[in-house]
Amino acid sequence: MKQGTMLTLAWQSVLKNKMRTLLTMLGIVIGVGAVIVMVAVGQGARSKIEQQINSLGTNLIIITPGTINQGGVNQGAGTFNRLTVEDAEKLKREATTVAGVTPIVFSHAQVIGPQSNWHTMINGVSTDFFTIRNWQVSTGVPFSDDDVRARRKVVILGATVAKNLFPGVDPVGSTVQVGHNPFTVVGVLAAKGQNANGQDQDDLIVLPYTTAQSRLAGRWVHLGMILASTYSTRDIPAAEQDLAGIMREAHRIGSGEPDDFTIRNQTDIAQAAESTTKVMSWLLAAIASVSLLVGGIGIMNIMLVSVTERTREIGIRMAVGARGSDVLTQFLVEAIVLSVLGGIIGLIAGYAGADLLRHFTGWSTDTPPQAVGIAVGFSGAVGMFFGFYPARKAAALNPIDALRYE
């Protein structure tokens, strides 16, 4: 039998009983639709996390305080802080694999504007901060190396701080009070939104680290962290070794002694987040796939009923020369057409469901193109797998018995 004839007969059989066909396909439609929605949610979450991680900076390397043991008890990460401005300056001078280094002096203070005030985080940084974090100013200009050396009282506001202190007004050139000191606003950072932990990255102000130490945090305060960036992602492993060697030398750590600092990079954070979202995506898709299996069982049941109803028809076909393989192929094609049609309808429903979910919940959704082929292909495979037994049963019928069937 020609392929075109088989498809035509299969299509006629599908349309013969429309309601039964629709109910049979329902499981496949729900299964494919659910898989598309779940994959879209998982992929959207992964893309969102990647964007948030990339917003941390370009090829970022983070040096934070280490840990200390007291009485055989590990006190935990960040409990032993020996990071200093001198460490950052030494890294800047001697590291050959980094594009920039900046100390970070952390503090919190009440920032008072002309009409309101706002409690926020203070980041004392060098001019390399803007390159490392890949952070532009939306209005105004960044402070300069001269501002850092002269400890000038200049400040750049984060977008959230600017919005609360100067609603609807460009704050550049205005004066704000940070703690007990007046500062001149020279710029506003471009908005970055939330990071992967849900924290508002724009709720901060940045100023020269020399000014932060002398005016806000005390001259000899230790650093909260040191940030560095490499010229490319490939340089990160070599840069970590380079930075670790310089830090151990600066802190006079002997051979075999543990580091009193911790070095992490952006890739580690990204891999951990991606691993989590990948597991969740596969878990959601696996749960949704149960509907496909249920739909496959429904197809098998209906095809078995169809074989029983069409037993006499099968006998007539065999009597006029049809082989068992022809009958098997015919019923198998019908099962595949039924499941693929359900898969296409489910695909449309899945896309519509993902759009509705994004519209009403604000979640980020993204359906990768390969998910479309996988969903339709899997639905066809389900039809082939669950349609094989009824098709084989039809092919194995005895023509004489089939003709006698009432």
Cα–Cα dist 85/210, whole Å: 9
* Residues 6 or more apart in contact with residue 358 via CB below 8 angstroms: 44, 364, 365
What are phi and psi for residue 122, nearest 5 degrees? -105, 130
For the chain, percent of residues with pLDDT exceeding 70 = 77
pLDDT in tens, 299-340: 787 777 777 766 777 677 777 666 767 677 777 777 777 788
pLDDT at residue 400 in the model: 65
- At residue 368 the predicted structure's pLDDT band, cuts being 50, 70 and 90, is confident
* Residues 6 or more apart in contact with residue 236 via CB below 8 angstroms: 59, 61, 230, 265, 266, 267
More confident residue, 32 or 398: 32
Q: Residue ranges per domain, the chain?
A: 3-52+272-404, 81-259
pLDDT at residue 164 in the model: 93
Paired with 123 in beta bridges are: 106, 206
Running DSSP on this structure, what letter comes out for residue 230? E
> 189 in helix, strand or coil?
strand
pLDDT at residue 172 in the model: 94
Q: Are 278 and 269 in contact (CB under 8 A)?
A: no
Highest averaged pLDDT of the listed ranges 6-10, 368-372, 385-389? 385-389
pLDDT in tens, 155-190: 999 999 999 999 989 999 999 999 889 999 999 999
Q: What does the pLDDT average to over 242-256?
A: 89
Residue 107 reports pLDDT greater than 90: no
Q: Are 201 and 120 in contact (CB under 8 A)?
A: no
pLDDT in tens, 118-149: 999 999 999 999 989 889 999 999 999 999 99
- At residue 78 the predicted structure's pLDDT band, cuts being 50, 70 and 90, is very low
Residue 20 reports pLDDT greater than 60: yes
Q: Are 302 and 20 in contact (CB under 8 A)?
A: yes
Q: What does the pLDDT average to over 38-50?
A: 73
pLDDT at residue 237 in the model: 87
Paired with 100 in beta bridges are: 229
Distances (CA, A) of 205 to 102, 111, 137, 202, 209: 16, 9, 12, 8, 12
pLDDT in tens, 273-282: 666 666 766 7
β-bridge pairing 175-178 and 98-112: antiparallel
Q: Strands, E, within 142-224: which ranges? A: 154-157, 175-178, 181-189, 204-208
Cα–Cα dist 212/151, whole Å: 8
- At residue 75 the predicted structure's pLDDT band, cuts being 50, 70 and 90, is very low
pLDDT in tens, 392-405: 777 777 666 656 65
More confident residue, 258 or 75: 258
pLDDT at residue 405 in the model: 56
Distances (CA, A) of 151 to 34, 141, 168, 170, 208: 59, 17, 30, 24, 7
pLDDT in tens, 191-241: 988 776 667 889 999 999 999 988 886 555 678 899 999 888 888 889 999
pTM reported for the whole predicted model: 0.61
Cα–Cα dist 314/337, whole Å: 19
Highest averaged pLDDT of the listed ranges 6-20, 53-67, 70-84, 197-211? 197-211
More confident residue, 48 or 88: 88
